[in-house]
Amino acid sequence: MTDADLLEMYRTMVLSRTLDQRIWQMNRQGRAAIVASAQGHEAAQVGAIRALDPERDRFYIYYRELTTMLALGITPLELLLGFLAKDGEPLSGARQFPLHGAIDRSRRDIVSFSNVVATQLLQAVGVALADKMRGEKRVTVAYFGDGASSMGETHEAMNFASIHHLPVIFFCENNKYATSVPLSRQMNIESIAARADGYGMPGIEIDGFDPVAVYEAVGAAAIRALSGDGPTLVEAVVERFLPHTSDDDDTRYRPPEELEDIRKFDPIPAMEKLLRSSGALDDALDDEIKGSAQKIVNQATEDAENAPFPEPHDFYEQVYAPGSPGDQS
């Protein structure tokens, strides 16, 4: 990875954090109904996308993928429109929670049909099966949390993908909590990646605070997928800096020492330090990166606030195919 690559990742992480903080703030002001923050997951998400091809590959995300979305080219304004349920939101016509729905396929194959955890894993496997049947060389990435790893569908997805050597990357962002339930109450093992063995595929556990390590692991998984060798389970260990969502209160279940502890290391200042020590970043450039993130987010906030809510004019459309039985449009 060149300094330019690292700087690019740093820029996206800074933008993501700035936007994330803004959305959280807007929730507290009663302007954004619900937020699941990506703070703490930024390095893992940006590192993974760096190893993939946004045009070629397919992304079955879950709700905590703010940095992934930015890294894939979805704009802060589009994302804010989603968080405010405004017209012009790019995923669901503001019918769904933020970050749910699908981006126009001509632009990016980013999909998140529902809030129901782990459903996207089987869908991603079906998507990859279709690509394999047509001989298309693409990687499908299924994003999920440690909590979703307990779902039966996760097992079914990994099993099938491995049987058929499908080009899938199972990308687990292990923040050690499923809402309030800690890892020790979710599983009697230390590593989710270790389960890969049971499916006959490689599993790799990496430090999700290190974007370069994530980049390398996902890169290797992508090569394996594209050469027809099958899926990989990549587990990026991260921290969830904020409560599960804006409706949660993590002080009810995380001891104060733990909450203090997890913030001792933050991947964004760590990246800044790394870049400064290599000489790739100086005060002027850092000011520019942070200042421009602030400016972009301020402008997007203003534009999103001014955007109207969608009218229910197409409320009855897209239930069935146009003109097909049952269509009410």
Ligand X SMILES: Cc1ncc(C[n+]2csc(CCOP(=O)(O)OP(=O)(O)O)c2C)c(N)n1
Cα 178 to Cα 174: distance, rounded to the nearest angstrom: 9
State the binding partner of 134 from another protein, Mg ion, ligand X, none, CB within 5 to 8 A by kind.
Answer: another protein
CA distance 159 to 154: 9
Q: Considering only 6-14, 109-117, 169-177, 203-211, which stretch makes contact with another protein by CB under 8 A?
A: 109-117
Other CB atoms within a 10 A radius of the CB of residue 12 amount to 23
Is 174 strand, coil or helix?
strand
CA 248 to chain centre: 20
Catalytic residue among 17, 41, 100, 244: 244
Active site residue 185: no
140 and 89 in contact (C-beta within 8 Å)? Answer: no
Given 116, 189, 223, 259, the residue binding another protein (CB under 8 A): 116
Kindly state the smallest distance separating residue 318's Cβ from another protein, in Å.
4
**Closest Cα to residue 10, out of 306, 285, 316, 322?**
285
Whether 63 sits among the annotated catalytic residues: the reply is no
Q: Which of 81, 128, 141, 148 binds ligand X (CB under 6 A)?
A: 148
Residue 154 to residue 171: CA distance in whole angstroms: 12
The answer to whether 229 contacts another protein (rule: CB under 8 A) is no
Active site annotation includes 58: no
Judged by CB under 8 A, the residue of 13, 52, 157, 236 near another protein is 157
Which one of 146, 153, 239, 266 is in contact with Mg ion (CB under 5 A)? Answer: 146
Binding test (CB under 8 A) with another protein, winner from 125, 225, 238, 281: 125
Please count the residues of this chain forming the interface with another protein, following the rule CB under 8 A.
Answer: 45
Helix (H) or strand (E) holding 12: helix 3-28
111 versus 238: smaller Cβ distance to another protein: 111
Least distance in Å: CB of 88 to another protein? Answer: 11
* Overall size of the chain counted in residues: 329
Sign for the pseudo-dihedral over CA of 148, 130, 75, 236? positive
Q: Count of residues binding ligand X (CB under 6 A)? A: 15
With CB under 8 A as the contact rule, the residue among 100, 176, 195, 240 that binds another protein is: 100
Binding string to Mg ion for residues 173 to 212, with x set by CB under 5 A, is what?
--x-x-----------------------------------
Q: Is 324 in the site for another protein (CB under 8 A)?
A: yes
Q: Return the closest-CA partner of residue 173 out of 263, 51, 39.
A: 39
Smallest Cα–Cα separation from 158: which of 124, 188, 110, 112?
Answer: 124
CB-hemisphere CA count at 13 Å for 291? 6
- 98: contact with ligand X by CB under 6 A: no
Residue 12 binds Mg ion (CB under 5 A) = no
Q: Which stretch binds ligand X (CB under 6 A): 120-128, 139-147, 247-255, 259-267?
A: 139-147
Work out the number of other CB atoms within 10 angstroms of the CB of residue 96: 18
For residues 110 and 61, is the Cβ–Cβ distance under 8 A? Answer: yes
Kindly give the pairing relationship between strand 177-178 and strand 140-145: unpaired
Tokens standing for residue 4: 């330019």
Catalytic residue among 253, 263, 313, 316: 253
Residue from the set 23, 26, 85, 122 that interacts with another protein by CB under 8 A: 122
Residue from 15, 52, 178, 225 touching ligand X (CB under 6 A): that is 178
Question: CB 298 → ligand X: shortest distance, Å?
Answer: 28
* Catalytic center residues: 240, 244, 253
